[in-house]
């Protein structure tokens, strides 16, 4: 693991790469009481020549900085942290499993460590640490089982003016009870909604997307807009950019016809609307995306006492989901060069 401490006298101290192990912290540390804790989720992938690679790491570090500012944690230089991260991954590259679609999960975390019970900002004492964990693929075509989600109808994950757009520890514990309830009722995760119109926010810890057939024969890909209640996912952004590049003729996504147009929309999306498209037969694919899962298909959503069951495909994915999954994996593992997204360490 890598650790760097921040204190008012020295600012950021010297970083250290050392064996994984417990931290020793004052029990009054602010992170234990008021939750100044922000984190990132990234992965290192093994490239074709045995060189470890990161995927668009600058986007994660920019988001970490936004989260840290929102929690009044110490400021940092994202380029300096990227240099540390590359060094850590280069040192620990042997932990990236040498198997297809496996990776090394990376968890950069910043906590407030001011040893004081006083309820006050903690931009004077903090610690940044990065821990790593080998990880297996979450979902593979033909192998994985599409996920089922239980819509949460009595609680919200995030709200306008809240912190849903930041990867802050405090956003996650309040969701555990609903997660447990979903599991107890046979669902994998929760679909988070907000408002009277049952607007869709996120699918568990993933962003939500639908693929809908258009009258002109093209398809629409729609995902909730970044209105402050949505975590701005790197995978979400990459999917929208890849779909746009396909439609503009700048690339052809695997398995899709170059003439097929995918129109992307970031917009308000409600659960009754999705249910209606499903009933009409225009709803082609329902997907969730994030670093851990890349892209996964949804099988059903429990909503207002009934299951909305989506179209099934042979290997789990519909054509758009499969194309996006394949292209993302090829870029991440360094087999397909695309706009410098894959960064060697
Ligand atoms: C991390 C996260 C995502 C996915 O973001 P990526 O950058 O694609 O990994 C989506 N929703 C929530 C709530 C998250 O915490």
Substitution site in 43, 178, 206 for ligand 1 pocket (most atoms within 8 Å of beta carbon): 206
302 alpha carbon to ligand 1 midpoint, in Å?
Answer: 22
Mean pLDDT of 243-268: 98
Distances (CA, A) of 331 to 46, 123, 141, 261, 336: 11, 37, 17, 21, 5
39 alpha carbon to ligand 1 midpoint, in Å?
Answer: 11
What is the C-alpha to C-alpha distance for residues 53 and 60, in angstroms, rounded to an integer?
14
- The whole-number pLDDT of residue 222 equals 98
Residue 167 CA: nearest ligand 1 atom is 15
The answer, yes or no, to whether residue 281 has pLDDT greater than 90, is: yes
Residue 289 CA: nearest ligand 1 atom is 8
Mean pLDDT of 234-245: 98
**Are the C-beta atoms of residues 221 and 211 closer than 8 Å to each other?**
yes
231 alpha carbon to ligand 1 midpoint, in Å?
Answer: 6
Mean pLDDT of 265-279: 98
The answer, yes or no, to whether residue 141 has pLDDT greater than 90, is: no
Residue among 167, 169, 133, 130 nearest 23 (CA): 130
End-to-end Cα distance, the chain: 16
- The whole-number pLDDT of residue 127 equals 98
Residue 42 CA: nearest ligand 1 atom is 9
295 alpha carbon to ligand 1 midpoint, in Å?
Answer: 12
* Residue 142 binned pLDDT confidence (cut-offs 50, 70, 90): confident
Nearest residue (by CA) to ligand 1, atom 3, is 206
What is the C-alpha to C-alpha distance for residues 1 and 6, in angstroms, rounded to an integer?
17
Domain 147-335 annotated CATH 3.30.1360.10 = no
pTM of the model: 0.98
Residue among 63, 37, 40, 232 nearest 131 (CA): 40
CB atoms within 10 A of CB 129: 18
Which protein residues are within 6 Å of ligand 1, measured from CB?
41, 167, 202, 205-207, 231, 233-236, 290-291
**b/e for 218-228, b at 16 or more Cβ within 10 A?**
ebbbbbbebee
168 alpha carbon to ligand 1 midpoint, in Å?
Answer: 11
Nearest residue (by CA) to ligand 1, atom 14, is 205
Tell me which CATH code domain 2-135 carries: 3.30.470.10
Domain limits, the chain? 2-135, 147-335
Q: Element (H or E) spanning 154, and its range?
A: none
**Are the C-beta atoms of residues 343 and 53 closer than 8 Å to each other?**
yes
Nearest residue (by CA) to ligand 1, atom 12, is 205
């Amino acid at each position: 693991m890598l650790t760097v401490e921040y204190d008012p006298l020295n600012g950021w101290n010297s970083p250290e790469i050392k064996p994984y192990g417990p931290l020793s912290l004052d029990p009054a540390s602010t992170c234990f009481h008021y939750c100044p804790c922000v984190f990132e989720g990234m992965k290192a992938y093994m490239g074709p020549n045995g060189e470890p690679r990161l995927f668009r790491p600058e986007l994660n570090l920019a988001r970490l900085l936004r989260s840290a500012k929102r929690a009044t944690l110490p400021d940092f230089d994202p380029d300096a942290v990227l240099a540390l991260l590359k060094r850590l991954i280069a040192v620990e590259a042997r932990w990236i499993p040498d198997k297809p679609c496996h990776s090394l999960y990376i968890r950069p975390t910043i906590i407030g460590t001011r040893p004081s019970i006083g309820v006050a900002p903690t931009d004077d004492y903090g610690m940044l640490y990065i821990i790593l964990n080998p990880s297996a693929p979450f979902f593979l075509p033909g192998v994985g089982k599409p996920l089922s989600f239980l819509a949460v109808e009595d609680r919200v994950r995030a709200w306008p003016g809240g912190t849903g757009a930041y990867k802050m520890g405090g956003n996650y514990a309040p969701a555990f009870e609903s997660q447990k309830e979903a599991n107890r009722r046979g669902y994998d995760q929760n679909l988070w909604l907000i408002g009277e119109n049952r607007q869709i926010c996120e699918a568990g810890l993933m962003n939500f997307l639908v693929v809908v057939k258009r009258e002109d024969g093209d398809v629409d890909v729609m995902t909730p807009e970044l209105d402050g209640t949505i975590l701005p996912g790197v995978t979400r952004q990459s999917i929208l950019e890849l779909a746009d590049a396909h439609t503009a003729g700048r690339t052809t996504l695997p398995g899709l016809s170059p003439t097929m147009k995918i129109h992307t929309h970031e917009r308000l999306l409600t659960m009754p609307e999705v249910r209606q498209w499903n009933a009409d037969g225009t709803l082609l694919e329902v997907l969730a995306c994030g670093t851990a899962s890349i892209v996964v298909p949804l099988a059903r959503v429990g909503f207002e006492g009934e299951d909305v069951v989506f179209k099934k495909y042979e290997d789990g994915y519909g054509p758009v989901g499969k194309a996006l999954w394949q292209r993302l994996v090829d870029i991440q593992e360094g087999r397909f060069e695309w706009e410098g997204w894959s960064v060697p360490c």
